[in-house]
Chain A
Amino acid sequence: MKKIFWFFIIVSILLHFYALTFPLATLEDESSHIVRGMIILEVLNIVPLWAWFILTILTIASLFLLYKLYKKDVNLFIAVLLPLSIAYYYIVCHVASRFLINQFGSLDIINQLWLIRYGSLSAIVYALQLILFGYREWGMRLFPVIFSVFSAVYLYKLISLYKNENWALFSSISFLFLPGIFYFVNISQLSMGVTLFTILSIYFLMRFTLKNEKKDLAYMCLFLILGFQYKEIFLLTYGTIFGYLIYFYLFIKKKIDYLSIVKYLSLSLIPTLIWLVTQGYFNNSTNFMSSRFLAFNQNLAHNVFRYITTFPSEATWPISILFFIGLPFALYSIFKKKDELAVVFMTHFLIIYSFITFDSLNHYDIVYRYAADLLLSISFLSFFSINLIKRRKLIKLISYGLIIFLMITSTFLTYHNWENRFVPMDGTFSYIKENIPESEKILRTMAPNPYKFYIAKYEIKNEMRHIVWANVSEQDIASLFAFMEKNNYTYYIFPKPSPSYHSYWPNDFSWVYTTGLIREPVLNETLLNNLMINNTYFSVVYNDNLGDNSLYIIKKAD
């Protein structure tokens, strides 16, 4: 690998550094993913410290012994592993049920929905981050950064299997600095993990077709399983792999061990399918996988170009233009030059694009996170147009110029007016910790939100409930006062009613409005404006600003 590649990797990590410490975003899924890790951690917290220590040593030792045993005799290995798994399973069940009874008073499925919406791996990754770094914002965002670095490294390796070094360098580095990717690296979301597992499984499959080593197929199968356990949308990668294999069989006609590939692919599907069935027992909402795949949209023509309009903001104008110029050349390369890599990225692009277009969730206007999955293909396919230039020096000059342009754009978008994207959580919660007695109850209304994280970070003991006390039209100062009086709430915490997401992708989301096509307000704006001024019912005890956003704490009059 070129030295300049590592230089850009280090620069990308450095550019993320400060953004990692931003407060957790409101109205982002980031906070709900962290809560999943927190629930696992709460279960684990029942175990005392000394037992933890012994458990860790036992786990490492048993894994080592199992590996030794596996190398010696596979039958013996299974014979030991199965009773061990039963014992382990009952311990986990016992601890989990005790925890849930202590926490909620009963064994309730609703509380577990957090853990089964996505697979196990992502919840465990978040739990691991909490164990390693505690309740720190940067700790929650470290894994996406690590994933992004590995994605770039393996993208480089994958491309250099078939293409020249310039191509590999430009694609992997420009991928890191595309605004869409840059955003989801320092906002702790699942996108980067999905991208990494996609690249890894494709890389090992393609290496198998070149070198014919069975080891590679085992790794492919492993990453397919892990990818699906990370996030269910990863299932689309199977489409890319099948598309590639069909092309390989029909056009490349090289003799490889197809039976082994099919065997390992079906093996990887076993845990995936069982997981889908498991999820179906709990999850009847529209988020359930089957309804996502089955529900097709009626307004097809209207929606087909919906996500193309996001390219300029997620991939910048120059890259989008290069991508569209490169597309016909990529197609030419696929059909005339038997370009396997172009097939993979093209199929990946088409599958993701059709999925997000036909998805039942498309009542959301545009979800930038969905479109971010397309950027992997865009970073590769856009080089087709740069490759048209004959002079090598000019290619280098243009690639480096574009990378620097992307670097500046992404950094600017991330840091320019960054305050407007967040609410001042830290100040508000340290105020609650220091000034509000633990016995006082606090009412809050704003979701989805990072409250649970900050309650744990500042070890707040106050009872804090999220309740919308009345319909928007019926919300006024008197009804709020009556509700708080009746239910013994002393404090109320609310945001200033202003739009969010100013600096990155402009959006008309607002703290007080629900998402979706019909933006119905959750809170009455006039009421919130009135509460920001002292009155006979309430007095403002604290307010904090971050950019244009403010959080208020008001106290009920006695």
Chain B
Amino acid sequence: MFAKFLLIMAVFFALIIYPYWLLYYFVGLKYVFFISLLGFVVFVKVLEK
């Protein structure tokens, strides 16, 4: 349980927060953030199956 929680938080961080504030501001790729959110939901869903 705790291992999976840690895993989800790591992905959450790696996918969303750190890289994308850079992309959003400097390249203007607004949609990348939302794609990564989608990727994150898929990640968690597959993990929980």
B13–A270 CB distance below 8 A: no
Pick 9 A–B contacts, CB within 8 A, sort by A.
A74-B44, A85-B12, A89-B33, A93-B21, A96-B25, A225-B10, A270-B43, A271-B11, A278-B19
The B1-39 residues at the A interface (CB cut-off 8 A) are: 1-27, 29, 32-33, 36-37, 39
Contact indicator B3/A218 (Cβ below 8 Å):
yes
Q: Knowing that A89-B17, A219-B3 touch, tell me 20 more A-B residue pairs with CB under 8 angstroms.
A: A71-B1, A74-B48, A81-B12, A82-B40, A89-B20, A93-B25, A115-B22, A116-B22, A120-B19, A221-B7, A222-B3, A222-B7, A225-B7, A225-B10, A229-B10, A270-B11, A270-B39, A270-B43, A274-B15, A275-B19
With A92-B21, A274-B36 already in contact, the answer to whether A78 and B7 are too (CB < 8 A) is: no
| Total contacts A-B at CB 8 Å | 104
- Number of B residues near A (Cβ < 8 Å) is 40
Contact: A107 with B26, CB < 8 Å?
Answer: yes
Which of B8, B17, B32 is in CB contact (< 8 Å) with A70? Answer: B8
What is the CB-to-nearest-CB distance from A76 to chain B, in angstroms, rounded to a whole number? 12
| Complexed CA–CA distance, A120 and B20 (Å) | 11
Q: Is there an interface contact between B3 and A225, defined as CB atoms closer than 8 Å?
A: no
Residue of B nearest to A271 (CB): B14
- Residues of B near any A CB (own CB < 8 A): 1-27, 29, 32-33, 36-37, 39-41, 43-44, 46-48
A218-273, CB < 8 A from B = 218-219, 221-222, 225-226, 229, 263, 267, 270-271
Per the bound structure, the CA–CA distance linking A92 and B1 in Å amounts to 29
Contact of B37 with A82 in the complex, beta carbons under 8 Å: yes
Which residue on B lies nearest to A120, using beta carbons? B18
A218 & B7 in contact (Cβ 8 Å cutoff): yes
CB neighbours (8 Å) of A282 from chain B are: 22, 26
B19 to A97, Cβ gap below 8 A?
Answer: no
Q: How far is the CB of B21 from chain A (nearest CB, A)?
A: 5
Q: A-side binding surface: helix, strand, loop or mixed?
A: helix
Residues 164-223 of A contacting B (Cβ, < 8 Å):
215-216, 218-219, 221-222
Whether A88 sits at the interface, judged by CB under 8 Å, is yes
| A contact residues around B6 at 8 Å (CB) | 218-219, 222
Inside 8 A of A222's CB, which chain B residues have their CB?
3, 6-7, 10
Q: Give chain B residues whose Cβ lies under 8 Å from the Cβ of A97.
A: 25
The complex places the Cα of A78 from the Cα of B4 at a distance, in Å, of 13
Q: Which of B1, B14, B26, B44 has the most CB of A within 10 A?
A: B14
Given the interface pairs A74-B48, A267-B46, A270-B43, the reply to whether A85 lies near B21 with Cβ below 8 Å is no
